[in-house]
Chains A and B, each alone.
Chain A
Amino acid sequence: MDERNVKSTAHNERGMHIVSPKVYAAVGLSLLALTATTVAASYVEMYVFNVVVALGIAVIKMMLVVLFFMHVKYSPKLTKLTAAAGLFMFLVLVGMTLADYFTRAWGRW
């Protein structure tokens, strides 16, 4: 097999996806650019949206790492489901706990 000529969605002899270095480089550069963006954004006064923007950028960076560096885009459905399940449980932990704290201020009925 010609090992040197691998395209971005090539498979090796075992049917494993091989992601091309070009994709990795593009993702890496995007991540660095997003880092610069989030640092710059923290210097801009956006009141309550500061945290929204910061977390939003972080989520985009996470998605890039998960989908491309961790190959989830090219992985079987089970892997995608597993990653999603982890995210979901994390959100349940944080969300339902915070819900208690936020609603304490609402007082009694």
Chain B
Amino acid sequence: MSTNTIVLLPDQSTATIPKMNFLSKENGLLSWLLTGDHKRIATLYLISITFFFFIGGALAGLIRLELLTPQSDLVATDTYNKLFTMHGVIMVFLFLVPSVPATIGNFVIPMMVGAKDLALPKINLLSWYLYMGAGIMMIYTMAAGGVDTGWTFTTPLSTHYVNTHVITTGLCVFIAGFSSIFTGLNFIVTIHKMRCPGMTWFRLPLFVWSNYAASILMVLGTPVLAITLVLIILERTVGIGVFDPAKGGDPLLFQHLFWFYSHPAVYIMILPGMGVISEVVSTFSRKRVFGYTAVAFSSVAIAIFGFFVWAHHMFIMGISNYSALVFSLLTMLVAVPSAIKIFNWAFTLYKGSITFETPMLYSFGFMGLFTIGGMTGVFLGATGTDIHLTETYFIVAHFHFVMVGGMLMAFLSGIHFWWPKWTGRMYPEKLSQLAALITFIGFNFTFFPQFILGTLGMPRRYASYPPEFQVLNVFSTAGASILGVGYLLPILYLTWSLKYGEIAGSNPWQATGLEWQVQSPPLTENFPQIPIMDHEAYDYEWLERQKEKEVTSVG
């Protein structure tokens, strides 16, 4: 199985990185800090996101260490509250939301549509600066003592009962939100207005469709989070009373406004990952994605329906029964397009010519783990079972399965898939396959016991728990340490590959897609001339015909 590979590299004894590429074009700090080149901005994002991921991961490590024992003995309960809050805020807003769009999306989408850059390069750069501003503010907040309300800032706890840095965290998330909005705005304009001649909507790679859908969510949903945070800040400073029952306000109003964004946010997080899976599954099965139209429309359907289901986070909070019924039914509906995608990827694999390079391993992991996570979502969408399972470790397991088992695996899949294009070099295949396997095993050990803990009744966000839950918690922590190794390895070998990796050439995966028809790393302007798209997406026959015309030796 592992001797079978589609990787086709140029002859290493003579191959070199192309002298003129976006990395070598200009030198100096200012050329990076004032760049308009989407590929450089993507690189800046990649470095910063990785940095914040490790901070969030360190917090996760501390959480799991605390939960080794039933008592709150490693840290005080207040501190534990701060740990899981900061973990959530950093992982959601500073890692998952920008992960694929701001790094891979920024890098690859202009090339996929056949453009020289995104529509608004300065806005793109602004987006990164906003992200860095938010990140630095977050570090300051952590140093100053952090926040302990949970990443959901539920009122009236966050407005009336805690003394921690809710306002600075709120501002930080506000700024990060605008970073996200500008990225999404840029993508929508680029995809609508800058496709090259011949690039119709249905010739676009599905990665573009997924990011387009996620961008709609970013543009329409995030501003509501922004105003919600403004209201929280006003409530804490001026004491206006809009979330205060004593003054006539309603704490539930906060939750409505918060979840109106935060539910679409989970689709913002997962849709770009699904886009990666479409690309990877197709390339490593040597087959066009089954049911292209269905997958494309499913992405948009997820985006649209994702706006109609937010109150399923509020079933036990006091919304009316009729409201709960409607939102529960709509939640069942929104599961359908996600399932359609899984089926389509499975049918893509069927009778495909499958190889097991690292991106494909991560994609397999995604398909299995996301399916499990998604199916457990159904238990939570049904109001009856939700009453028992909500605010327990079942929820924690559910969203970690979809976010970490799903999204993070998709992110790693995409990083490995586009790494040769980005850097011109291959990562070490055997080591990366090992890392993927370690990640998969570590993940399951960490989070599967949490499903059981949840059904047994262990509440979430508690530093101490009844002793009968200890065994499963120890399992979970053990898994977390394995998972940590699995995430550390890519940092090490990807950095190593920058200097010592094999030269990749322009198309090591023999993939379709316009980005694979240019050099690795690409030129600053991507294409010497705007290409003309004359074939369908995932057209492997077209690729074969290109190869026939290729010159492989001279003389």
Contact = CB atoms under 8 A, between A and B. Distances in A.
Interface string B278-311: 0000000000000000000000000000011001
A89 interface: yes
A103 B307 CA distance: 20
Interface of B is mostly: helix
Nearest to B318: A104
Contacts of A25: none
Contacts of A109: 321
A97 B260 contact: yes
Interface string A66-94: 00000000000010000001100100110
From DSSP, what is the main secondary structure of chain A's interface residues?
Answer: helix
A64 to B, nearest CB: 25
A103 B320 contact: yes
A108 B325 CA distance: 12
B256 A97 contact: yes
B322 interface: yes
B192 A100 contact: no
B329 interface: no
Given A78-B192, A97-B256, A97-B260, A92 B307 contact: yes
Contacts of B220: 85-86, 89
Contacts of B320: 100-101, 103-104, 106
Contact of A100 (B224, B307, B311): B311
B321 A93 contact: no
Interface in B254-277: 256-257, 260
B319 interface: yes
A59 to B, nearest CB: 21
Contacts, number: 36
Given A78-B192, A89-B220, A96 B321 contact: no
Interface in B205-249: 220, 224
A99 interface: yes
Contact of B323 (A85, A99, A108): A99
Contacts of A104: 319-320, 323
A100 B323 contact: yes
Nearest to A96: B308
A93 B322 contact: no
A92 B220 CA distance: 11
Question: How many B residues are at the interface, by size bracket?
Answer: 10 to 19
A106 to B, nearest CB: 6
Contacts of B47: none
A85 B220 CA distance: 9
A100 B308 contact: no
Name, among A78, A96, A99, A108, the residue most crowded by chain B CB atoms within 10 Å (CB to CB). A96
B256 A100 contact: yes
Contact of A108 (B260, B308, B311, B321): B321
Contacts of A96: 308, 311
B34 interface: no
Contacts of B311: 96, 100
Nearest to B260: A93
B136 interface: no
B162 interface: no
A100 B260 CA distance: 13
B214 to A, nearest CB: 15
Nearest to A97: B256
Interface string A13-43: 0000000000000000000000000000000
B33 interface: no
A103 B322 CA distance: 7
B431 interface: no
Interface string B380-410: 0000000000000000000000000000000
Contacts of A108: 321
Interface in B302-352: 307-308, 311, 319-323, 326
Given A92-B307, A93-B224, A108-B321, A99 B326 contact: yes
Contacts of B319: 100, 104
Contacts of B260: 93, 97
A89 B321 contact: no
A47 B437 CA distance: 69
A89 B307 contact: yes
A97 B192 CA distance: 32
B496 to A, nearest CB: 46
A101 to B, nearest CB: 8
Contacts of A89: 220, 307
A15 B365 CA distance: 52
12 contacts: A89-B220, A92-B307, A96-B308, A97-B260, A99-B322, A99-B323, A100-B323, A103-B321, A103-B323, A104-B320, A104-B323, A106-B322
Interface of A: 78, 85-86, 89, 92-93, 96-97, 99-101, 103-104, 106, 108-109
Closest 6 CB pairs of A and B: A103-B320, A100-B323, A103-B322, A104-B320, A97-B256, A100-B319
